[in-house]
């Protein structure tokens, strides 16, 4: 086999608590990941040149070593002394740098695809060691599951046996927000219940939220959305607060920033409601998506 075509889905963080800062400069978190059906398409083709070549028409996707996809392929090629190269074609449907994990998912997809093409037969734990070297969100995408709990940097994954399927509206404004800047602002943004303290107690966990997910209680799920990064995101981009208020006015069950943003998503009751909201907002925003749990 010389080529393989794969789908690379996006994610939402429905629950994200920042627990503390780690000695390595990252943060320990507790987060509930949801895999959604907004997906990129990736084609991997082996080539005899030995080069790793990335082909993507999206202007914000780097074509060289700065791309996580390139880094994933290089790690495997170098560690196993593979002389072949690979052409990586990426069709981007997931907005770039939006808090939806598009780049991380692409990297995980390349790890899985090259594991098959180059016949390494690496186990998931072995692939996870590569995923953690690439980024905190990459590990989740190695699991074929709709729901998972992420701890430590978000890269230790526990599958959640949850059958619930949710419908969402996603709005991605044309705003640049850098995750490093968001995490860096955690100690500066005031929290309503404890001014100048953003980090939550170590024993905070997602168990109550997961309970509502298991019960498919859409109203409670919407009320229980948590993102400790949101306060910083809204300080950096105050216009997102107006977007949140607009979504809340449309009878949604819950509205929140995903990850470090700028994507703002809503939990809704039905596909039809999601499509109706998409139609209403499409005149104002160019990137409005309807998505469901995958």
Return the biggest CA–CA distance within the chain: 60
d(CA 194, CA 169): 31
Catalytic residue from among 137, 155, 228, 253 = 137
Beta strands in 152-236 (DSSP E): 156-159, 167-171, 226-227
The strand pair at 85-91 and 52-55 is best described as parallel
- CB crowding 137-156: b at 16 or more within 10 Å, else e: bbbbbbbebbbbbbbbbbbe
Q: Which helix (H) or strand (E) holds 65?
A: none
Provide the token pair at 183. 């995490």
* Catalytic status, residue 251: no
* Catalytic status, residue 137: yes
User: CA triplet 10, 131, 40: central angle to 5 degrees?
Assistant: 25
The strand pair at 85-91 and 27-47 is best described as antiparallel
Cα 39 from chain centroid (whole Å): 11
Residues with active-site annotation? 11, 137
């Amino acid at each position: 086999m010389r080529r393989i075509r794969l789908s690379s889905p996006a994610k939402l963080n429905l629950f994200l608590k920042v627990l503390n800062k780690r000695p390595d400069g990252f943060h320990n978190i507790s987060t509930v990941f949801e895999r959604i059906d907004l997906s990129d398409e990736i084609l991997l083709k082996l080539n005899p040149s030995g080069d790793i070549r990335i082909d993507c028409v999206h202007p914000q996707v780097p074509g060289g070593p700065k791309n996580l996809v390139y880094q994933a392929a290089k790690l495997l090629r170098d560690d196993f002394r593979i002389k072949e190269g690979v052409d990586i074609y990426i069709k981007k449907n997931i907005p770039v740098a939006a808090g939806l994990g598009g780049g991380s998912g692409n990297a995980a997809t390349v790890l899985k695809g090259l594991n098959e093409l180059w016949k390494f037969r690496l186990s998931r734990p072995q692939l996870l060691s590569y995923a953690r070297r690439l980024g905190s969100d990459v590990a989740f995408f190695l699991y074929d599951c709709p729901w998972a709990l992420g701890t430590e940097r978000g890269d230790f994954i526990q599958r959640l046996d949850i059958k619930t399927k949710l419908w969402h509206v996603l709005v991605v404004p044309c705003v640049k927000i850098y995750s490093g800047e968001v995490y860096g602002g955690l100690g500066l943004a005031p929290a309503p219940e404890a001014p100048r303290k953003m980090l939550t107690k170590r024993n905070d966990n997602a168990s109550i939220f997961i309970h509502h997910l298991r019960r498919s209680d859409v109203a409670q799920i919407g009320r229980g959305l948590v993102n400790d990064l949101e306060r910083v995101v809204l300080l950096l981009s105050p216009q997102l607060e107006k977007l949140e208020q607009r979504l809340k006015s449309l009878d949604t069950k819950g509205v929140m920033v995903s990850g470090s943003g700028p994507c703002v998503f809503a939990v809704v009751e039905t596909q039809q409601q999601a499509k109706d909201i998409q139609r209403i907002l499409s005149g104002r925003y160019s990137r409005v998506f309807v998505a469901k749990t995958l």
